[in-house]
Amino acid sequence: MRVVIIDAGGANTGSVRYAFERLGIEAALVTDAASIRLADRVVLPGVGTAAQVMARLRQLDLVDVLRSLEQPLLGICVGMQLLYERSEEGNVQGLGLLPGTVARLAGAGGMRVPHMGWNRLRHTAPGTLATGIAEGDHAFFVHSFAAPVTPDCILASDHGAPFAAAVQRGHIGGAQFHPERSATVGARLLQNFLAPGVVPAVSPNGSPA
C-alpha cells in the first residue's frame, strides 16, 4: 500500500511517519501532485495556523489536487480543520470538502485555550474510522480551534463545549486529536484508515459512487 504524507510544513510529520512505521507502513513525505495522485492513502497533517498550512498548499499548487482526490484522505489537527469550508483562524478559506466553519474554542467554564492534553471521546455517528475505539477512550489534543459537531462528526469531545474529535464523509476523514501521540486509540484510527474499503469514494452529490 502506498501511503503519502503531505509536507505541509508542520513539525509533526516525522512522528506521523513513525506512527505508520509502527504499523508496518513506510509512508513517504511528499510535496508533488504526481505522488499524491498515485497514492492509495493520503495524509494531510498540520501544526501551526490554518493560514500557514493553506499558504503552503497553495505554494505547492496542491489545493485543486486535494479537492479532486478519490482515494482516502485523512486530515490531522489543522489538516482536519482545513477540510472544512472556512476557518475563523485568520478568516481562511479551506478546502471545502466538508461543510461548516472551524471556530475558536470558547474556553467556557474556566477552560484554558489552547486545549492541551488527554480528553475523552464519545461516539456521535457511525464511522468505520472509529471502529474499535470505545466510548470514553482518551486521545491527545493540542488545539485552539475546532470544528462543530455536525452529521459528519463520528467522535466528539468536550472542552467548555462539544467539538468534533474525528469526522468521516465518504473518502474524507479527519482527526482533531493527534493519532501519532494517542497510544492505542491513535494506532487503531490509523489502522482503520489503512483498512481496505474503509472510506469508499463518493460522487459529488455525497452519495456512494
CA gap 157, 33 in Å, rounded: 34
| Residue with cell string 477552560 | 111
Residues serving a catalytic function are 77, 178, 180
| Residue 184 burial (CB count, 10 A) | 11
Cβ burial of 147 (10 Å; 0-12, 13-18, 19+) is: buried
Residue 14: phi and psi, rounded to 5, are: -65, -45
